[in-house]
Amino acid sequence: MNSEVLPGFTVGQILEAFWTTIQLTVFSAVGALILGTVLAAMRLAPVPMLNWIGTTYVNIVRNTPLTLIILFCSFGLAQTLGITLVDFQSATSIEDSNFRLAVLGFTVYTAAFVCETVRSGVNTIPLGQAEAARSLGLSFGQNLRVVLLPQAFRAVVAPLGSVLIALTKNTTIASAIGVAEAALLMKEMIENTAALITVGAIFAGGFILLTLPTGLFFGWLGKRLAVAQ
């Protein structure tokens, strides 16, 4: 762990930075999955107002650059509105605040993509099933919970994997507001060693190690869970 990769930088430091990347990814992925599913339900609901809210959210958020969303979390939410998500007096307030704001930003952004993915999954289910469920007396909520979403998720496991991979790589943007993840350590290493290609290769390799198995796992899971129709 203490062996130096390049002068002044140890393997441990790199692993620590990637651990932050993983944490950012996991927390944001869980948040985005929940928010995205709620949004998908809104877009499918038989209530025009909810449809409108869901559609507007997706169209605004997925068309806004992620850097802008992350910077807004830091400057707009934390500095201007005072929503720092942390106790201002704590000794690690800046670090914690940045991390939580970044998770919030990634959640909000990725949820738009999760919503569209889940909705496309629902569209793979023959319309007759939803109609049959309604005629049996299931409410919209029951219909969604019992009939539609379980099948929809199984259909979109692989595309959700793609969204997760994109999220993993997107977390590098958190260095813009100072979250100590992989991209920030990369900047430090380039600044100190001026070895652009070596450092670039280390971090590209690190991300491939994270994302390639993710993709393979979700591909396998998708096949396993696929609904025969």
Partner 1 sequence: MPSFPLRVAGAVALAIALPFAVSACGGGGGGDENSIVIGTKFDQPGLGLKNPDGKMSGFDVDVATYVAKELGYTPEQIEWKESPSGQRETLIQNDQVKMIAATYSITDARKEKVAFAGPYLVTGQSLLVKADNTDITGAESLQNNKKLCSVSGSTPAQRIKDKYPGVQLQQYDTYSACIEALKNGAVDAVTTDEVILAGYAAQTPNTFKIVGKPFSEENYGIGLKKDDTELCTKVTDALKKMESDGAWKEAWDKNLGPAGLAAPAPPTPAAC
Name the segment binding partner 1 (CB under 8 A); options: 24-32, 130-138, 140-148, 171-179.
171-179
Nearer to partner 1, 101 or 155 (CB): 101
Name the segment binding partner 1 (CB under 8 A); options: 23-31, 78-86, 115-123, 149-157.
78-86
Residues 192-211, mask of contacts with partner 1 (x by CB under 8 A): xxxxx---------------
Is 66 a residue that touches partner 1 (CB under 8 A)? no
- Touching partner 1, residues 120-139 (CB under 8 A): none
Query: Count residues contacting partner 1 (CB under 8 A)?
Result: 30
Instruction: Answer whether 18's CB lies under 8 Å from 203's CB.
Output: no
Look-up of token digits 């507001």? 177
Is 178 a residue that touches partner 1 (CB under 8 A)? yes
Is 71 a residue that touches partner 1 (CB under 8 A)? yes
Beta pairing partners, 217: none
Query: Cβ neighbours of residue 143 under 8 Å, at least 6 residues apart?
Result: 130, 133, 134
Instruction: Answer whether 211's CB lies under 8 Å from 169's CB.
Output: yes
- Touching partner 1, residues 85-114 (CB under 8 A): 91-95, 98
Residue among 120, 130, 128, 212 at smallest CA distance from 157: 120
Question: At closest approach, how far in Å is the CB of 88 from partner 1?
Answer: 10
Using CA atoms, how far apart are residues 47 and 111, in angstroms rounded to an integer?
21
Question: At closest approach, how far in Å is the CB of 20 from partner 1?
Answer: 13
220 to 34, 46, 79, 223, 229: CA distances (angstroms) = 23, 35, 44, 5, 19
Contacting positions for partner 1 (CB under 8 A): 7, 71, 74-75, 78-80, 91-95, 98, 175-178, 184-196
